[in-house]
Structure 1
Protein backbone atom coordinates (compact mmCIF):
# COMPACT_ATOMS: atom_id res chain seq x y z
CA UNK A 1 0.00 0.00 0.00
CA UNK A 2 2.95 2.43 0.14
CA UNK A 3 2.59 3.10 -3.61
CA UNK A 4 -1.11 3.86 -3.16
CA UNK A 5 -0.31 6.20 -0.28
CA UNK A 6 2.24 8.04 -2.45
CA UNK A 7 -0.34 8.31 -5.23
CA UNK A 8 -2.85 9.88 -2.83
CA UNK A 9 -0.23 12.40 -1.75
CA UNK A 10 0.66 13.29 -5.34
CA UNK A 11 -3.01 13.63 -6.31
CA UNK A 12 -3.58 16.07 -3.47
CA UNK A 13 -0.72 18.22 -4.79
CA UNK A 14 -1.30 18.03 -8.54
CA UNK A 15 -4.71 16.62 -9.32
CA UNK A 16 -5.77 15.83 -12.87
CA UNK A 17 -9.35 16.70 -13.72
CA UNK A 18 -11.89 13.92 -14.13
CA UNK A 19 -9.54 11.02 -13.39
CA UNK A 20 -11.86 8.03 -13.21
CA UNK A 21 -10.88 4.40 -12.76
CA UNK A 22 -11.95 1.90 -15.39
CA UNK A 23 -13.31 -0.79 -13.05
CA UNK A 24 -16.54 0.58 -11.64
CA UNK A 25 -20.16 -0.49 -11.77
CA UNK A 26 -22.62 1.35 -13.93
CA UNK A 27 -25.18 3.49 -12.14
CA UNK A 28 -28.17 4.32 -14.27
CA UNK A 29 -29.75 7.76 -14.36
CA UNK A 30 -32.77 6.31 -12.61
CA UNK A 31 -30.71 5.36 -9.52
CA UNK A 32 -30.22 9.02 -8.58
CA UNK A 33 -32.92 11.29 -10.02
CA UNK A 34 -31.78 14.38 -11.94
CA UNK A 35 -33.57 16.64 -9.45
CA UNK A 36 -31.56 15.06 -6.63
CA UNK A 37 -28.30 15.54 -8.53
CA UNK A 38 -29.18 19.21 -9.09
CA UNK A 39 -29.81 19.69 -5.36
CA UNK A 40 -26.50 18.06 -4.42
CA UNK A 41 -24.63 20.00 -7.10
CA UNK A 42 -26.08 23.21 -5.67
CA UNK A 43 -24.84 22.30 -2.17
CA UNK A 44 -21.35 21.64 -3.50
CA UNK A 45 -21.34 24.80 -5.61
CA UNK A 46 -22.41 26.90 -2.59
CA UNK A 47 -19.65 25.39 -0.46
CA UNK A 48 -17.08 25.93 -3.22
CA UNK A 49 -18.10 29.56 -3.74
CA UNK A 50 -17.92 30.22 0.01
CA UNK A 51 -14.38 28.85 0.14
CA UNK A 52 -13.36 30.67 -3.04
CA UNK A 53 -14.69 33.94 -1.59
CA UNK A 54 -12.25 33.49 1.29
CA UNK A 55 -9.35 32.73 -1.05
CA UNK A 56 -9.38 29.02 -0.26
CA UNK A 57 -8.75 26.53 -3.05
CA UNK A 58 -10.50 23.19 -2.58
CA UNK A 59 -9.33 19.90 -4.08
CA UNK A 60 -11.38 16.72 -3.98
CA UNK A 61 -10.04 13.23 -4.45
CA UNK A 62 -12.77 10.61 -4.15
CA UNK A 63 -11.26 7.21 -3.48
CA UNK A 64 -13.17 3.94 -3.52
CA UNK A 65 -12.19 0.40 -2.69
CA UNK A 66 -12.72 -2.25 -0.07
CA UNK A 67 -9.07 -2.17 1.05
CA UNK A 68 -9.01 1.54 1.96
CA UNK A 69 -8.96 0.96 5.70
CA UNK A 70 -6.23 -1.70 5.81
CA UNK A 71 -3.21 0.60 5.92
CA UNK A 72 -3.06 3.27 8.63
CA UNK A 73 -0.94 5.55 6.40
CA UNK A 74 -3.71 5.55 3.77
CA UNK A 75 -6.43 6.03 6.41
CA UNK A 76 -4.62 9.08 7.75
CA UNK A 77 -4.68 10.70 4.31
CA UNK A 78 -8.48 10.48 4.09
CA UNK A 79 -10.19 13.57 5.52
CA UNK A 80 -13.71 12.14 5.31
CA UNK A 81 -14.14 8.38 5.70
CA UNK A 82 -17.12 6.28 4.67
CA UNK A 83 -17.80 2.57 4.64
CA UNK A 84 -20.79 1.38 2.62
CA UNK A 85 -22.10 -1.76 4.32
CA UNK A 86 -24.33 -4.56 3.12
CA UNK A 87 -25.19 -8.10 4.15
CA UNK A 88 -23.35 -11.14 2.82
CA UNK A 89 -26.34 -12.02 0.61
CA UNK A 90 -26.57 -8.53 -0.88
CA UNK A 91 -22.83 -8.39 -1.55
CA UNK A 92 -22.90 -11.88 -3.09
CA UNK A 93 -25.84 -10.97 -5.32
CA UNK A 94 -24.18 -7.74 -6.47
CA UNK A 95 -20.97 -9.59 -7.25
CA UNK A 96 -22.81 -12.29 -9.20
CA UNK A 97 -24.84 -9.70 -11.11
CA UNK A 98 -21.65 -8.28 -12.59
CA UNK A 99 -20.46 -10.01 -15.74
CA UNK A 100 -16.82 -9.67 -14.68
CA UNK A 101 -14.01 -7.18 -14.14
CA UNK A 102 -11.65 -5.32 -16.42
CA UNK A 103 -8.07 -5.90 -15.24
CA UNK A 104 -4.65 -4.91 -16.54
CA UNK A 105 -4.35 -8.45 -17.92
CA UNK A 106 -7.75 -8.46 -19.64
CA UNK A 107 -11.12 -9.56 -18.29
CA UNK A 108 -11.74 -11.56 -15.10
CA UNK A 109 -14.81 -13.66 -14.41
CA UNK A 110 -15.20 -15.20 -10.95
CA UNK A 111 -15.04 -18.99 -10.80
CA UNK A 112 -17.85 -20.76 -8.87
CA UNK A 113 -17.97 -19.99 -5.11
CA UNK A 114 -15.17 -17.42 -5.46
CA UNK A 115 -17.09 -14.74 -3.56
CA UNK A 116 -18.10 -16.97 -0.63
CA UNK A 117 -14.76 -18.75 -0.29
CA UNK A 118 -12.23 -16.04 -1.19
CA UNK A 119 -13.63 -12.51 -1.53
CA UNK A 120 -15.95 -12.27 1.48
CA UNK A 121 -13.56 -13.85 4.01
CA UNK A 122 -10.82 -11.48 2.77
CA UNK A 123 -13.24 -8.54 3.06
CA UNK A 124 -13.94 -9.46 6.71
CA UNK A 125 -10.26 -9.94 7.50
CA UNK A 126 -9.01 -6.75 5.89
CA UNK A 127 -11.89 -4.60 7.13
CA UNK A 128 -11.99 -5.88 10.71
CA UNK A 129 -10.97 -2.51 12.23
CA UNK A 130 -13.49 -0.61 10.07
CA UNK A 131 -16.31 -3.05 10.83
CA UNK A 132 -15.45 -3.07 14.54
CA UNK A 133 -15.41 0.73 14.52
CA UNK A 134 -18.92 0.85 13.03
CA UNK A 135 -20.16 -1.79 15.48
CA UNK A 136 -18.64 0.29 18.30
CA UNK A 137 -16.66 -2.74 19.44
CA UNK A 138 -13.78 -2.27 21.82
CA UNK A 139 -10.73 -2.23 19.59
CA UNK A 140 -7.28 -0.71 19.73
CA UNK A 141 -7.44 -0.02 16.01
CA UNK A 142 -10.43 2.33 15.75
CA UNK A 143 -10.81 4.42 12.62
CA UNK A 144 -11.67 7.89 13.86
CA UNK A 145 -14.49 9.65 12.05
CA UNK A 146 -15.56 6.59 10.04
CA UNK A 147 -19.15 6.98 8.85
CA UNK A 148 -21.14 3.86 8.04
CA UNK A 149 -23.76 3.94 5.32
CA UNK A 150 -25.91 0.81 5.25
CA UNK A 151 -27.12 -0.04 1.76
CA UNK A 152 -29.72 -2.37 3.26
CA UNK A 153 -31.42 0.68 4.79
CA UNK A 154 -30.55 3.47 2.34
CA UNK A 155 -30.98 3.64 -1.42
CA UNK A 156 -28.13 4.96 -3.58
CA UNK A 157 -29.62 8.47 -3.76
CA UNK A 158 -29.79 8.68 0.05
CA UNK A 159 -26.23 7.39 0.43
CA UNK A 160 -24.92 9.93 -2.09
CA UNK A 161 -26.80 12.70 -0.29
CA UNK A 162 -25.45 11.61 3.11
CA UNK A 163 -21.91 11.55 1.71
CA UNK A 164 -22.24 14.98 0.10
CA UNK A 165 -23.74 16.44 3.29
CA UNK A 166 -20.87 15.07 5.39
CA UNK A 167 -18.23 16.35 2.94
CA UNK A 168 -19.84 19.81 2.89
CA UNK A 169 -20.04 19.80 6.69
CA UNK A 170 -16.38 18.79 6.95
CA UNK A 171 -15.24 21.49 4.52
CA UNK A 172 -17.33 24.18 6.21
CA UNK A 173 -16.13 23.24 9.71
CA UNK A 174 -12.51 22.59 8.83
CA UNK A 175 -11.70 24.82 5.90
CA UNK A 176 -14.14 27.65 5.36
CA UNK A 177 -14.46 28.47 9.06
CA UNK A 178 -10.93 27.28 9.88
CA UNK A 179 -9.18 28.94 7.01
CA UNK A 180 -6.51 26.96 5.11
CA UNK A 181 -6.28 24.88 1.95
CA UNK A 182 -7.03 21.19 2.45
CA UNK A 183 -7.75 18.14 0.37
CA UNK A 184 -11.09 16.64 1.34
Structure 2
Protein backbone atom coordinates (compact mmCIF):
# COMPACT_ATOMS: atom_id res chain seq x y z
CA UNK A 1 0.00 0.00 0.00
CA UNK A 2 1.13 3.53 -0.68
CA UNK A 3 1.99 5.71 2.30
CA UNK A 4 2.36 9.48 2.57
CA UNK A 5 6.06 9.39 1.67
CA UNK A 6 5.36 7.33 -1.47
CA UNK A 7 2.69 9.84 -2.44
CA UNK A 8 5.17 12.71 -2.06
CA UNK A 9 7.73 10.78 -4.14
CA UNK A 10 5.10 10.22 -6.85
CA UNK A 11 4.21 13.90 -6.85
CA UNK A 12 7.85 14.88 -7.37
CA UNK A 13 8.36 12.29 -10.12
CA UNK A 14 5.21 13.39 -11.96
CA UNK A 15 6.55 16.91 -12.00
CA UNK A 16 10.06 15.97 -13.18
CA UNK A 17 11.31 12.39 -13.29
CA UNK A 18 14.89 13.54 -13.95
CA UNK A 19 15.36 14.88 -10.40
CA UNK A 20 18.18 12.87 -8.79
CA UNK A 21 17.11 10.29 -6.21
CA UNK A 22 19.23 12.01 -3.56
CA UNK A 23 17.27 15.23 -4.10
CA UNK A 24 13.93 13.40 -4.00
CA UNK A 25 15.04 11.72 -0.78
CA UNK A 26 16.03 15.06 0.72
CA UNK A 27 12.61 16.53 -0.15
CA UNK A 28 10.72 13.64 1.45
CA UNK A 29 13.04 13.13 4.43
CA UNK A 30 14.80 9.93 3.35
CA UNK A 31 18.37 9.05 2.52
CA UNK A 32 19.15 7.99 -1.06
CA UNK A 33 19.03 4.19 -0.66
CA UNK A 34 15.60 3.93 1.04
CA UNK A 35 14.21 6.47 -1.43
CA UNK A 36 15.55 4.46 -4.39
CA UNK A 37 14.07 1.24 -2.90
CA UNK A 38 10.66 2.92 -2.66
CA UNK A 39 10.85 4.09 -6.28
CA UNK A 40 11.84 0.60 -7.40
CA UNK A 41 8.92 -0.91 -5.43
CA UNK A 42 6.51 1.59 -7.00
CA UNK A 43 7.82 0.49 -10.43
CA UNK A 44 7.60 -3.23 -9.57
CA UNK A 45 4.03 -2.76 -8.32
CA UNK A 46 3.08 -1.01 -11.56
CA UNK A 47 2.24 2.29 -9.87
CA UNK A 48 4.97 3.90 -11.98
CA UNK A 49 4.34 2.49 -15.46
CA UNK A 50 7.15 4.28 -17.28
CA UNK A 51 9.17 7.48 -17.31
CA UNK A 52 8.90 9.65 -20.41
CA UNK A 53 9.83 13.00 -21.89
CA UNK A 54 6.93 15.34 -22.69
CA UNK A 55 7.56 16.96 -26.06
CA UNK A 56 6.43 20.33 -27.41
CA UNK A 57 4.02 19.44 -30.25
CA UNK A 58 4.92 22.54 -32.26
CA UNK A 59 8.62 21.72 -32.17
CA UNK A 60 7.99 18.21 -33.53
CA UNK A 61 5.50 19.45 -36.14
CA UNK A 62 2.26 18.03 -34.76
CA UNK A 63 0.42 21.29 -34.23
CA UNK A 64 -3.12 20.00 -34.87
CA UNK A 65 -5.03 17.97 -32.28
CA UNK A 66 -8.16 16.20 -33.46
CA UNK A 67 -10.70 14.44 -31.26
CA UNK A 68 -12.31 11.69 -33.28
CA UNK A 69 -15.63 10.28 -32.06
CA UNK A 70 -16.38 6.90 -33.61
CA UNK A 71 -19.65 4.99 -33.62
CA UNK A 72 -19.98 1.45 -34.86
CA UNK A 73 -22.81 -1.00 -35.30
CA UNK A 74 -20.44 -3.84 -34.40
CA UNK A 75 -20.15 -4.61 -30.68
CA UNK A 76 -18.36 -7.92 -30.38
CA UNK A 77 -14.93 -8.96 -29.11
CA UNK A 78 -13.58 -9.92 -32.53
CA UNK A 79 -14.38 -6.51 -34.01
CA UNK A 80 -12.96 -4.68 -30.98
CA UNK A 81 -9.71 -6.69 -31.17
CA UNK A 82 -9.40 -5.97 -34.90
CA UNK A 83 -10.15 -2.29 -34.32
CA UNK A 84 -7.57 -2.06 -31.52
CA UNK A 85 -4.99 -3.74 -33.80
CA UNK A 86 -5.77 -1.28 -36.60
CA UNK A 87 -5.50 1.71 -34.25
CA UNK A 88 -2.15 0.46 -32.92
CA UNK A 89 -0.75 0.85 -36.48
CA UNK A 90 -1.35 4.62 -36.42
CA UNK A 91 1.30 6.63 -34.54
CA UNK A 92 -0.93 9.69 -34.95
CA UNK A 93 -3.36 8.21 -32.41
CA UNK A 94 -1.96 9.22 -29.05
CA UNK A 95 -4.99 8.26 -26.95
CA UNK A 96 -7.71 5.66 -27.57
CA UNK A 97 -10.75 5.09 -25.35
CA UNK A 98 -13.81 2.85 -25.38
CA UNK A 99 -16.66 5.05 -24.21
CA UNK A 100 -20.06 4.83 -22.56
CA UNK A 101 -22.85 6.90 -24.09
CA UNK A 102 -23.61 7.83 -27.69
CA UNK A 103 -19.99 7.61 -28.87
CA UNK A 104 -18.41 4.15 -28.88
CA UNK A 105 -14.73 5.15 -29.18
CA UNK A 106 -12.79 8.36 -28.82
CA UNK A 107 -9.37 9.00 -30.33
CA UNK A 108 -6.99 11.87 -29.75
CA UNK A 109 -4.98 12.33 -32.91
CA UNK A 110 -1.90 14.55 -33.39
CA UNK A 111 -0.98 15.65 -36.92
CA UNK A 112 0.84 18.56 -38.58
CA UNK A 113 -2.18 19.96 -40.44
CA UNK A 114 -5.66 19.28 -41.83
CA UNK A 115 -4.23 17.59 -44.93
CA UNK A 116 -2.35 15.11 -42.75
CA UNK A 117 -5.56 14.46 -40.79
CA UNK A 118 -7.43 13.80 -44.04
CA UNK A 119 -4.75 11.28 -45.08
CA UNK A 120 -5.02 9.62 -41.65
CA UNK A 121 -8.81 9.47 -41.96
CA UNK A 122 -8.67 7.88 -45.42
CA UNK A 123 -6.18 5.24 -44.22
CA UNK A 124 -8.36 4.52 -41.17
CA UNK A 125 -11.63 3.99 -43.05
CA UNK A 126 -9.84 1.84 -45.63
CA UNK A 127 -8.77 -0.57 -42.86
CA UNK A 128 -11.97 -0.98 -40.83
CA UNK A 129 -15.72 -0.57 -41.20
CA UNK A 130 -17.06 2.27 -39.05
CA UNK A 131 -20.68 3.48 -38.90
CA UNK A 132 -19.97 7.13 -38.12
CA UNK A 133 -16.96 9.35 -37.57
CA UNK A 134 -17.17 12.86 -36.19
CA UNK A 135 -14.04 14.94 -35.76
CA UNK A 136 -13.51 18.07 -33.68
CA UNK A 137 -10.32 20.09 -33.96
CA UNK A 138 -8.81 21.81 -30.95
CA UNK A 139 -8.44 25.55 -31.47
CA UNK A 140 -6.36 26.14 -28.35
CA UNK A 141 -4.92 23.96 -25.62
CA UNK A 142 -5.86 25.55 -22.32
CA UNK A 143 -4.65 22.86 -19.94
CA UNK A 144 -2.55 19.79 -20.50
CA UNK A 145 -0.90 17.67 -17.88
CA UNK A 146 0.37 14.16 -17.49
CA UNK A 147 0.11 14.47 -13.69
CA UNK A 148 -2.63 12.40 -12.09
CA UNK A 149 -4.27 13.82 -8.96
CA UNK A 150 -2.81 12.05 -5.95
CA UNK A 151 -5.31 13.33 -3.40
CA UNK A 152 -7.45 10.24 -4.04
CA UNK A 153 -4.71 7.77 -3.13
CA UNK A 154 -5.62 5.96 0.05
CA UNK A 155 -2.50 6.07 2.14
CA UNK A 156 -1.55 3.93 5.05
CA UNK A 157 0.08 5.49 8.06
CA UNK A 158 3.88 5.47 8.06
CA UNK A 159 5.35 2.49 9.94
CA UNK A 160 6.51 4.63 12.88
CA UNK A 161 2.97 5.96 13.44
CA UNK A 162 1.49 2.44 13.26
CA UNK A 163 4.02 1.11 15.76
CA UNK A 164 3.11 3.82 18.31
CA UNK A 165 -0.50 2.63 18.56
TM-score bracket, normalised by the shorter chain, equals under 0.3
TM-score (norm 2): 0.25
| Structure possessing the higher radius of gyration over alpha carbons | 2
**Higher strand proportion, which one?**
2
TM-score (norm 1): 0.23
